[in-house]
Structure 1
């Protein structure tokens, strides 16, 4: 409403819209409210009331004289178009000669979703200001409900998205496990282990801030089952680095595959075998994250005739998060797997660059 009086607008918070055709009434109400630190705007007769209401006033204060047919219709349109959480408070200052019951009944019919408060003039300053403040508080509570509804809707959408992603991951893991299984027992064992790895990293993300997880935490959760009597067969080391949820989940599954392969065929299949998992983060203008898995002390390694599920998954998964293919070398002394890429691709959602 381009004709509003900005002299009484002293806050970006909810304001009070004043409709009073007699200028002295409008000025008095404006000064009264601003004197009590309540932001107010005055609507003139030639203003577009629809635009003024679209500016979302916290409370509408109207004198009896302002209740023309066009004003009642404009407010009715606004009330009807309100979102479900909204019930705009309307303070009506009745003329002393009016019939309150008749006015109340008429406005209740016209504005069924408004919170109506009626005062018959003359009304004391304390009573009017208290009523307006209570109405503003009610409006604030309504906006709290709105924010809660919006947050709940967003959480439902996020939950739906995450569940779909988890189900897609489980389906993919099952299909690839099934293709490489030689028996029902082997399928069950491998599938159970991979689901366990998936569960662990999701738990780690949940217990952090819900979006990010550290590489150190991923390594601990993945390798703890291989610690016996304090003897860690897998040594993990590197700086503090946070990954986003997707990258953390992918890395955990890759480490699970590497550890499983090491137990079956590699360094961890012998008591003297050792594995070292390391990660580094450069501090250039465009930081690079690098990871390395190195096995030593196991049986002599020979490159297989064809890649198994684990190797295919690791190649595909690490390439997807780092943006380039990893290096997987079947060296005689032990398997070596290395990958590197821009840290920005895997960085924590609230920490795109390392601290």
Structure 2
């Protein structure tokens, strides 16, 4: 009893035959197999075991329809999932009490699609009917697969929306604590939301759970590199980072760029920034990302850490295992982010 049972509901492409009179079962099975339809003939003793393998179509002759068999099929139908409505082909003799049989089976098997043929029936007609019934089963399975995918997508969407709303709420609370006015709150909050939106767009365009680090950098820094300005140079090999790592890096790069505009290299026409990253070649590769400012006003280490610095230290330490390194050199701020590549990215090339 084979691979069909192992595959469970995945296979509906075979026919189970219960025809105890003479050699009817063997004849029907051979007829179907000649046309490329897998068929199995069951006896009254093993019929219920074969049913547990979930056939696509059931063929029963009226001689087999005793109360015990009818009850076995009824129990089987009750256990079917909601999407399944198994076709049952019933072969009736001319002398069989057809109206009574139809009424009995309709009452006993409400969750089935019953197809009746009166014997003798042309082989071509019977084969065509069974093949049509199998096609119906394939359509049912397609509907099942579609509904399962739709359910998975709804759950995934709900999960992601909750995560995004949690991120927005967290960003708002941290921005509010550092705001000195309603205008500064609105400006900072808008910028951080834009950085969050840009990285989500980059992940969406990448079509998966990983995104190119270069795409995260480009989408985050695009507002600061407009009008053909080349004050920010970017260097780095192709690395794929996870959605979470990309989001954290985007927000941190936004903080660095905002700080550079207000106080650092981007506050003066002569200022420049080099953003570069590299992956070490050791057994456990490390990703190192450096933000290097030059040509701006002399740098003085602030007496108190602002929101951006506190956020970067906390977020990056939690995500990558160690906080960023800030060097307040006179010639320009330097920030280095470092961590095992495995914590940044599931895949790299």
TM-score range relative to shorter protein:
over 0.9
Task: Find the partner of 1:231 among 226, 229, 245.
Answer: 229
- C-alpha contact (below 8 Å) 1:287/1:353 kept by paired residues: no
- Equivalent positions of 1:48-197 (< 5 A) are 49=48, 51-197=49-195
Q: Distance in 1 between matches of 2:211 and 2:172?
A: 25
Structure 1 residue aligned with 2:40: 41
In 2 relative to 1, CA 151–313 (structure 1 residues): closer, same or farther, beyond 3 Å?
same
Report the secondary structure of 2:23's partner residue: helix
Stretch deviating more after TM superposition (313-322 or 27-36): 313-322
Task: Find the partner of 2:328 among 324, 327, 330.
Answer: 330
Stretch deviating more after TM superposition (260-269 or 98-107): 98-107
What TM-score does the superposition give when structure 1 sets the normalisation length? 0.91
Q: Distance in 2 between matches of 1:125 and 1:114?
A: 23
Q: Distance in 1 between matches of 2:277 and 2:160?
A: 28
In 2 relative to 1, CA 23–267 (structure 1 residues): closer, same or farther, beyond 3 Å?
farther
Structure 2 residue aligned with 1:261: 259
Q: Distance in 2 between matches of 1:293 and 1:333?
A: 13
Q: Distance in 1 between matches of 2:308 and 2:116?
A: 74
In 2 relative to 1, CA 23–343 (structure 1 residues): closer, same or farther, beyond 3 Å?
farther
Q: Distance in 1 between matches of 2:282 and 2:137?
A: 51
- For the aligned residue pairs, the C-alpha RMSD in angstroms reads 2.0
Report the secondary structure of 1:298's partner residue: coil
Q: Distance in 1 between matches of 2:88 and 2:177?
A: 68
Q: CA deviation at 1:336?
A: 1.3
- C-alpha contact (below 8 Å) 1:16/1:60 kept by paired residues: yes
Stretch deviating more after TM superposition (314-323 or 105-114): 314-323
Q: CA deviation at 1:175?
A: 0.5
Report the secondary structure of 1:232's partner residue: coil
Structure 1 spans left out of the alignment, 5+ residues: 3-10
In 2 relative to 1, CA 229–344 (structure 1 residues): closer, same or farther, beyond 3 Å?
same
Q: Distance in 1 between matches of 2:309 and 2:262?
A: 14
- C-alpha contact (below 8 Å) 1:318/1:325 kept by paired residues: yes
Deviations 1:9-66 (A, max 9, x none): xx966211111223511111111111111111222211151x4223221111111111
Stretch deviating more after TM superposition (89-98 or 147-156): 89-98
Q: CA deviation at 1:344?
A: 2.1
- C-alpha contact (below 8 Å) 1:226/1:232 kept by paired residues: no
What TM-score does the superposition give when structure 2 sets the normalisation length? 0.93
Deviations 1:130-173 (A, max 9, x none): 11111111000100011111101101110110011001100100
In 2 relative to 1, CA 122–135 (structure 1 residues): closer, same or farther, beyond 3 Å?
same
